[in-house]
Amino acid sequence: MFPGLFEQLRVRDEKGLRRKRLILSGPQEAHVTVAGRKYLAFCSNDYLGLANHPELIQSACDGAHQYGVGASASHLINGHTAAHHELEQALASFTGFPNALLFSTGYMANIGILTALLGRQDAVFADKLNHASLNDAALLCGAKFFRYPHLDLIKLEQRLAASHARRKLVVTDAVFSMDGDIAPVSRLIALCKKYQAMLLLDDAHGFGVLGKQGKGVLFSSDAGNLHAPNIIYMATLGKSAGVSGAFVAAQANVIETFIQYARSYIYTTAAPALLSHALRKSLTLIEQESWRRDKLQQNIASLKKGLKSLRWQLLPSQTPIQPLIVEENNKAIWLSDALRKRGILVPAIRPPTVPPGLARLRISLSTSHSSTDIDRLATTLWELSQYS
Ligand SMILES: *Cc1c(COP(=O)(O)O)cnc(C)c1O
């Protein structure tokens, strides 16, 4: 066996950090089946309840009949179909950018964006709580890498002012995946303008949920839309959109740079056209069915109400990511296990994913949760709070 592999795995066990996968035997919904048992689940990123929508399933089947199952080539050879192309155009016009480009996953999009744009003479400025894919991308591109404390724009400005890099790119989650809070986008845009930096917004958790018609974080301000030419907007299509993949939207020369230089775009087989076909339908539902966002907001409000004055506190999040802070690692694990025994799945999140002393349950809400589901979670948490 490879040297040290056994040791490496044992460390995970010793620290109680060995991860295990649940095996679902059906679709992603509010109620999922694991090992023959039904659970009420608050784990997925299917915020709008589209992952198992009958019209999307039909649309995926239609796409398969029209385009087959596999794209069988990369986009630059001959894997780029009308379904991909039309989805890109629809995404660009939906988000208000001149051009958009599809990637197979959000992880690959972030790797592609940073490695295509930046090299050793350049610098990346990143929020400490950014998604791992942005950090990996920053390391891979070879640029100088500065991480500023979460939302600390004073530190960010100091770093920007001191930098002599050729290109400067500020990168941030738009909605932070473990805290549910929203980046101060308009202030970031202004700061980037002042220091001739570009701003990469990763709106994986905001697209479909925030803003008018679910157009995302750039449309979530009362002051109107926040568009600026120095923005590179990235969002994923496997969360609210309920399917798979990701896209980047920006000015035409930026998108053309990705087509020419993003290796995670160039050297990989195009995602199946049937997914793009289904995503066109998904985009229509996101745009037109605003009742999904209304219901989601109702669910967020009733969870907050239901957990008010519980001994553990929710972070002040307005998004479907609702973290319940329980502080100690063991307490978080105990609570997650106790919920599971009662038929409810909520993941416990511990350091190093979150800072020490801030272990939490990460409750994610969906349009597909009923008010009975929310009540059941709240009641069960109240019961458990009596025990510990
Ligand atoms: C999920 C996520 C990604 C990765 O997207 P995938 O399509 O799942 O690879 C990137 N950034 C953020 C902030 C995410 O939450």
Query: Rounded distance, CA 361 to CA 15, Å?
Result: 19
pLDDT for residue 12: 85
Tokens linked to 37: 């048992």
Residue 25 per-residue DSSP state:
S
Choose the catalytic residue: 205, 215, 277, 295. Answer: 205
**CA distance readout (Å), 72 to 37, 87, 350:** 38, 19, 40
- Predicted confidence pLDDT, tens digits, the chain (388 residues): 789 999 999 988 887 778 889 999 999 999 999 999 999 999 999 999 999 999 999 999 999 999 999 999 999 999 999 999 999 999 999 999 999 999 999 999 999 999 999 999 999 999 999 999 999 999 999 999 999 999 999 999 999 999 999 999 999 999 999 999 999 999 999 999 999 999 999 999 999 999 999 999 999 987 778 889 999 999 999 999 999 999 999 999 999 999 999 999 999 999 999 999 999 999 999 999 999 999 999 999 999 999 999 999 999 999 999 999 999 989 999 999 999 999 999 999 988 888 889 999 999 999 999 999 999 999 999 999 998 6
Residue in 130, 150, 177 to alter for ligand 1 test, most ligand atoms within 8 A of Cβ: 177
pLDDT for residue 187: 96
Fold category of 55-288 in CATH? Aspartate Aminotransferase; domain 2 (3.40.640)
pLDDT for residue 354: 87
Could you confirm whether 177 is annotated as catalytic?
yes
Could you confirm whether 341 is annotated as catalytic?
no
Cβ count within 10 A of residue 278: 30
pLDDT for residue 18: 81
What are the domain boundaries of the chain? 5-41+290-385, 55-288
Q: Which atom of ligand 1 is nearest to the CA of 173?
A: 13
> Closest Cα to residue 147, out of 119, 173, 124?
124
pLDDT for residue 223: 72
206 CA to middle of ligand 1, Å?
11
233 CA to middle of ligand 1, Å?
13
Which residue CA neighbors atom 3 of ligand 1 most closely?
106
- Phi then psi for residue 168, to 5 deg, are -120, 130
CB 124 within 8 A of CB 114: yes
Could you confirm whether 85 is annotated as catalytic?
no
Choose the catalytic residue: 59, 104, 177, 282. Answer: 177
Location of structure tokens 């992952």: 51
CB 233 within 8 A of CB 250: yes
Homologous superfamily of the 5-41+290-385 domain (CATH): Aspartate Aminotransferase, domain 1 (3.90.1150.10)
133 CA to middle of ligand 1, Å?
7
pLDDT for residue 148: 98
Tokens linked to 254: 């930026």
**CA distance readout (Å), 379 to 129, 288, 301:** 31, 34, 15
Helices within the chain (DSSP H only): 5-14, 54-67, 82-95, 106-117, 132-141, 153-162, 185-194, 252-261, 263-266, 273-288, 290-306, 329-341, 371-387
Query: Rounded distance, CA 108 to CA 339, Å?
Result: 34
Tokens linked to 237: 């299509």
Tokens linked to 108: 């690959």
Q: Which atom of ligand 1 is nearest to the CA of 205?
A: 15
Distance of alpha carbon 70 from the chain centroid: 26
